[in-house]
Structure 1
Amino acid sequence: MAMGINTNMGAINANRILDQTSRAQENTMERLTSGLRINRSADDAAGLAAVTGMKTQTIGTDMAVRNANDGIGFIQTVDGATDEVTNMMQRMRELGVQSMNGTYNNDNRQQMQVEFRQLQLEIDRVADTTKFNGMNVMTSATQAGQSFAMLSAGKVGAAANSGFVAQQGKASSMQMQVGWETDTDWGKASVNTVGVALMDFKTLSARSDAVKLLDGVSATFAANVSTARAAVAAIDNGLSAIKTMRSHWGAVQNRLESTVANLQNVNENIEGARSRIEDADFAKESAELARTQVLQQAGQSMLSQANQQSQQVLSLLR
């Protein structure tokens, strides 16, 4: 074997391999420090592209879950207020039935009318003051950037199929964004939104000034009974509209709860898939770190030995 001193091939080879080992060790330490297998696009270009898309979806689904839960809170707010309106209307109907009885005189009916009128005023007040995030939920009065439309009470009930069901799919109704993607045309059926039809409680005929129990203090018994019957009929129409709307709200709330459960399931599985691509396997990386540390020590020792070989040439010159 030829012996030279100008070019130490053993040292060059040992240095090259030692450099490779050092880079591998740096990558392993970076992964163990960050907890990520992919820290830059060069680590896995295709994997990084897939992970970016998955992160977009999981961030979107997280917000969609919040949106759906906000929608549930919205429905519970309006439904809770409606329950109290229903109780007041049931009392108004009770007074109407009582007023039709022949055992009461006009003075008694006047006393019933006082309570009846107070309940009408309270229904108006509840409709005006019940809000969610500063927006009216029981009257069409625009406030705080509110843009959704409401059905009048007359379009709910018997005409449900052409009333609140149709309103649910319109862009002008309350729309809950429960998908992580967007729809290009809000005028068409959406797969990422859930519509909620709302009713303007100010349009209930039962709270109108014209609806009362007493035709007049000096009116005949027959006239007063006829007035009370008309009031009961108006209240029945209002209760019919309310029960239809509450049934709709209950169905939508159950739908939103199923939406939340599905979104959470999708999010969990997407996160698992992303983790398998992006996250570092600590068992594997720890083993790799131990391997590179041993190789680095061996490489340094061999580089030292290669540098010592040139000293053997001196023995030939003695």
Structure 2
Amino acid sequence: MAEIDITRIAGNIGAMNALNSLQGINKQLATYQTRLATGKRINSAADDPAGLSIATKLQSRSEGLKVALGNIGDAKNLLAVAESGLSRINDILLQMRNKALQGASDTMGSAERDIIKTQLTAFAAQIDDLVDQTKWNDTKLLDSTTDFRFQTGADSSDAITFTAISGIKAADLEVEPSGITTGSATAAEFTTYLGKVESAMTTINTKMSNLGSLIGRLSFKEDQVAAAQINVEAAYNRIMNANMAEEQVNASKYLILQQTATAMLAQANTAPQFLLSLFR
């Protein structure tokens, strides 16, 4: 700060020093007032270039994790639809097994066995209907040849693959009662058919187990991503957003300094007037 010489009135150094201080105070006050108005510590790249760079990356990752959470929720819903379809097929197979057990007993005559075969045919058709109608966004879930890819993280490589379910139509499971002779069915035919139904139930149960394991994995992934998103958001908040209590304290301090600097500038402007007494 320049030395003040009040005897030289052509240049009021004291007033210039006071004005320079006032300008610096006004600049600082404007910064704190802007932070209080926006709630952000960094309002332009000039405020903190490095901090802004880090905060931008953190914000991008946080938003990506939010999207990933939504993807995981959608994936779990998709798998729940598939699981529901498999569960209904398993229920039908259970009924088919019970009917096969009835037909395998010689207490049933040819007429009763024909009725049972008719029921089994209807059950097999219902299995095919379930396979065709179990869809997600117009995509079949139980008769697909393409695996499903679930984006479960903010990075492009962070994904989980759901192996397509196929081969569970009645013909694929071999539960169509074509091997049962109409009008002269025997207990042996129903016994053979019973073994096919039990094999089909094992196949469906295996697929349901795999599906359940994947749903469980997604649940753990959901917890992991949720925790990561909170931590990233906290880091972004610490860098980017203002501490309102601290900013208010600083703003109050500079408001007072603004008033005192203004008063000192006024005094500095009038200081050279005492020299007039030398000319009286």
TM-score (ref. length: structure 2): 0.93
Give the alignment of 1:54-203 within 5 angstroms: 54-140=58-144, 149=145, 172-183=146-157, 192-200=158-166, 201-202=168-169
Cross-structure match for 2:28: 24
CA offsets, 1:76-114, max 9 Å, x none?
111111111101011111111111111111100011111
- 1:175 offset after TM fit, Å? 1.4
Q: In structure 1, what residue type is equivalent to 2:159?
A: T
Q: Tell whether the 8 Å contact from 2:39 to 2:241 is kept in structure 1 after alignment.
A: yes
In angstroms, what is the RMSD of aligned CA positions?
1.6
Pair 1:278 & 2:229 matched: no
The 10-residue stretch of structure 1 (61-70 or 228-237) with the greater mean CA deviation from structure 2? 228-237
Q: Tell whether the 8 Å contact from 1:212 to 1:228 is kept in structure 2 after alignment.
A: no
- 1:195 offset after TM fit, Å? 1.5
Distance 2:180 2:110 in 1: 8
- 1:240 offset after TM fit, Å? 1.2
Give the alignment of 1:217-296 within 5 angstroms: 217=183, 219=184, 224-296=186-258
- 1:262 offset after TM fit, Å? 0.6
TM-score (ref. length: structure 1): 0.82
Cross-structure match for 2:172: 205
- 1:227 offset after TM fit, Å? 2.4
- 1:206 offset after TM fit, Å? 4.1
Q: In structure 1, what residue type is equivalent to 2:154?
A: W
User: What SS class does the counterpart of residue 38 from structure 1 fall into?
Assistant: coil
| Gap change, CA 1:30 and 1:2, over 3 Å in 2 | closer
| Gap change, CA 1:48 and 1:204, over 3 Å in 2 | farther
Distance 1:291 1:23 in 2: 13
| Gap change, CA 1:290 and 1:20, over 3 Å in 2 | same
Distance 1:57 1:204 in 2: 48
- 1:307 offset after TM fit, Å? 0.7
Query: Structure 1: any 5+ residue segments left out of the alignment?
Result: 141-148, 150-171, 184-191
Query: Structure 2: any 5+ residue segments left out of the alignment?
Result: none
Q: In structure 2, what residue type is equivalent to 1:205?
A: D
- 1:216 offset after TM fit, Å? 2.6
1:49 paired residue among 38, 47, 53: 53
- 1:208 offset after TM fit, Å? 5.8
| Gap change, CA 1:96 and 1:206, over 3 Å in 2 | farther
Q: In structure 2, what residue type is equivalent to 1:71?
A: A
Distance 2:138 2:159 in 1: 22
Q: In structure 1, what residue type is equivalent to 2:36?
A: L
The 10-residue stretch of structure 1 (306-315 or 81-90) with the greater mean CA deviation from structure 2? 306-315
Cross-structure match for 2:273: 311
Q: In structure 2, what residue type is equivalent to 1:263?
A: V
Q: Tell whether the 8 Å contact from 2:148 to 2:162 is kept in structure 1 after alignment.
A: yes
User: What SS class does the counterpart of residue 46 from structure 2 fall into?
Assistant: helix
- 1:284 offset after TM fit, Å? 1.1
CA offsets, 1:258-310, max 9 Å, x none?
00001111111111111111111111111101110011000110110011012
User: What SS class does the counterpart of residue 161 from structure 2 fall into?
Assistant: strand
Q: In structure 2, what residue type is equivalent to 1:8?
A: N
CA offsets, 1:13-68, max 9 Å, x none?
00000000000000000001111111111111111111111111111111111111
Distance 1:264 1:204 in 2: 43
2:43 paired residue among 39, 42, 47: 39
Distance 1:303 1:32 in 2: 28
Distance 1:126 1:179 in 2: 32
CA offsets, 1:224-250, max 9 Å, x none?
223222322221221111111111111
User: What SS class does the counterpart of residue 150 from structure 2 fall into?
Assistant: strand
